[in-house]
Chain A
Amino acid sequence: MKGKKNKRGWTTLAIVISLLHLVPFYILITTSLKANNDFSSKWLLPTEWRWDNFTSAWENASLGTAFFNTTVITAVAAALLIVFGSLAAYPLARMNTKLNKFIYFLFIAIMIIPPLTALVPLYQMVVDMGLMNTRLVAVLNNLAAFLPLTIFLYAGFIRSTIPKELEEAAKIDGAGTLMIFFRIVFPLLKPITATVLIISCVFIWNDYQFAIFFLQDKEVQTLTVALSSFFGQNLSQLNLVAAAALMSMLPMTILFLFLQKYFVAGLSSGSVKG
């Protein structure tokens, strides 16, 4: 009897926590639907539902271009991340030569360096390479930033779950290393590839640190950059900013709700074993 009562108490607590965590989203949604001259309490629902806020925000913040740029940058960077990352992890996990041990250590050490600390010379280098205001520079920067983590995840997975015998059998059949990798090893990496893909897509989609420095032109702006300049120009029209913010987070939110188990599995598999 006591246990049941306790359980009801814990369930109530879980509901209260959920509601508290939803407060900012509630405020965001009501703000995005209010008229610009509606100064009623943020806690109240709009008296007049202004769905046209979304269309004006979409046009005024050039969200169409920004969505396109963000999608291209995220897709290309994530695809390269998977190819380069899995290719690199394979010898680092399998061939325990002195050189490979050092290179693996190097990748792990780089994981700790925050890319932003090298901002000044990085910026200059990008200018010198003529890559300012190109989508390519965003792809390359994000690729570099997430490669070490990707290699770490792939190498751990290869070491712990892919049996060596498979590759050795293929080797006897005379298959080359690349063929063995793409025909035999890579398909077995599917679970960790899903994790890498999801984590990297979220982070690259949300990137602001690189984008704000290198993508200032309107034609190449990503969502975060478009949003921050829209915010700067529209402090008196926060309803439109809220509408734009809501639209910008929608794709990743939907992805998350559908693929939740991969998000969770990726986090826990990569971390608990440490």
Chain B
Amino acid sequence: MSEWVRKSQQSISRQKVKVDTLRKPKREQSLWWMYLPALLVVSIFILYPFINGIRVSFTDWNGFSQTKNWVGIEQYVRMFQDPTTWLVVKNTLLYGIGSTILQNVIGLLYALLLNQSIRFKAVTRTIVYLPVIISPLVMGYIWYFFFAFQNGALNDAFLLFGLDKINALGNPDLNPWIIVFVNTYQFVGIAMIIYLAGLQSISKDFYEAAVIDGASAFQKFKNITLPLLMPAITINMVLNIIGGLKLFDVILALTGGGPGNASQSMSTYMYSLYFDRQDAGYAATQGVLMAFIILILSLLALVYFKRKEVDA
């Protein structure tokens, strides 16, 4: 038996020597043909349209005619003078930043709660996470039943308590916040799960040492939990910002972007410019602005939170 083990070990080490001598003189291959199919699909359906979109943004194209007139930066001038642009950018930032803050704060609180040994924690985790797997469109409809003016669940409850009905979805000051709320409700489960995993990876030794030093619960949280959670915070911030800035389905389901353009995001505005108003060139310009904003914000978030991470 041991004879056999020794022999096989010898043969393995001999093989290793052989591999090393074989590999050294040969240049490392790229094996590029293995990623060629993936590269082609991504290039044709994302990269090429993206670059082409920048080209279209300098034209007055209406989306169907054969002629595209080069108009230089006219669409960009128009975009910066269009008051709707600023409304839509403001909404998009509200959706992105508002739901990022809410999802992270609530997600972290839920994770702290469920990280203790309490009963029902598995059930609670399942219930909080469940909306993540439902289509945002369906989620929008579900909350439509809740917020609808006529016979909506919220107004039914208001009536019960003798309060006046409110037109939550038709109120331009209120409905962007409802969209933030619904988006948070739907995706807070992701933040919670990532924070839970982060919390579970922190060694108990740190807390025991802190207890010996007489640290309070808040000090433990501030000096141990938070710094060691930084990788989880980074990924959550970036995921949620990207998700929030791209919001589309849930807006169409809840408010359709209205009343007027009051709850429109950049993606729904672009959609209506292109399909309702045949303003393709201008829609492409809005697309460029949207990509630019998402790129800048996610890079900022990434760099900012990466710098705060400590080695654990």
Among residues of A, the one whose C-beta sits closest to the C-beta of B236 is: A271
- A87→B38 contact, CB < 8 A: yes
Residue B116 CB within 8 A of the other chain? yes
In angstroms, Cα B130 to Cα A255, docked, is 11
A87 touches B145 (CB 8 A): no
Residue B46, interface by CB 8 Å? yes
Measured CB to CB, the closest approach of chain B to A211, in angstroms, equals 10
* Interface-lining segment among A46-54, A55-63, A143-151, A189-197: A143-151
A 245-274 to B, binary, CB cutoff 8 A, 1 in contact else 0: 100110011011100100110011001111
Asked if B213 is an interface residue, CB under 8 A from chain A, the answer is no
Known contacts A88-B39, A208-B248, A264-B193; is-contact A18 B123 (Cβ 8 Å): yes
Residues of A within 8 A of B15 (CB): 168-169, 172
B137 x A242 contact (CB < 8 A): no
Bound complex: CA A112 to CA B16 (Å): 41
Q: List residues of chain B with CB within 8 A of the CB of A31.
A: 145
Closest chain B CB from A222 CB (angstroms): 10
Contact between A208 and B56, CB atoms less than 8 A apart: no
In the assembled complex, which residues on chain B have CB atoms less than 8 Å from the CB atom of A1?
A: none
User: Interface residue count for B (Cβ, 8 Å)?
Assistant: 101
Which of B44, B118, B135, B185 has the most A CB atoms < 10 Å from its CB? B135
- Whether the Cβ atoms of B274 and A42 lie closer than 8 Å is no
Q: Nearest chain B CB to A16's CB is how many angstroms away? A: 10
Known contacts A120-B283, A121-B56, A147-B38, A25 near B136 by CB under 8 Å: no
User: In the complex, which range does the number of interface residues on chain A fall in?
Assistant: 35 or more
By a CB distance below 8 angstroms, the chain A residues around B145 are 24, 27-28, 31, 42, 238, 242
Sample of 18 further A-B pairs with CB below 8 A, known A115-B46, A116-B270, A172-B18: A14-B120, A31-B145, A43-B160, A91-B35, A95-B31, A99-B32, A113-B291, A114-B290, A116-B248, A120-B53, A121-B55, A124-B63, A140-B44, A141-B45, A169-B15, A206-B138, A224-B138, A249-B138
List, sorted by A's number, 5 A–B pairs whose CB atoms are closer than 8 Å.
A18-B124, A206-B134, A249-B138, A267-B193, A274-B234
B residues contacting A by CB (< 8 A) are 15-16, 18-19, 28-32, 34-35, 37-39, 41-42, 44-50, 52-53, 55-56, 63, 110, 113-114, 116-121, 123-124, 126-138, 141-143, 145-146, 148, 151-153, 156-157, 159-160, 185, 190, 193-194, 196-198, 201, 231-232, 234-236, 239, 242, 245-246, 248-249, 252-253, 267, 270-271, 274, 280, 283-284, 287-288, 290-291, 294-295, 298-299
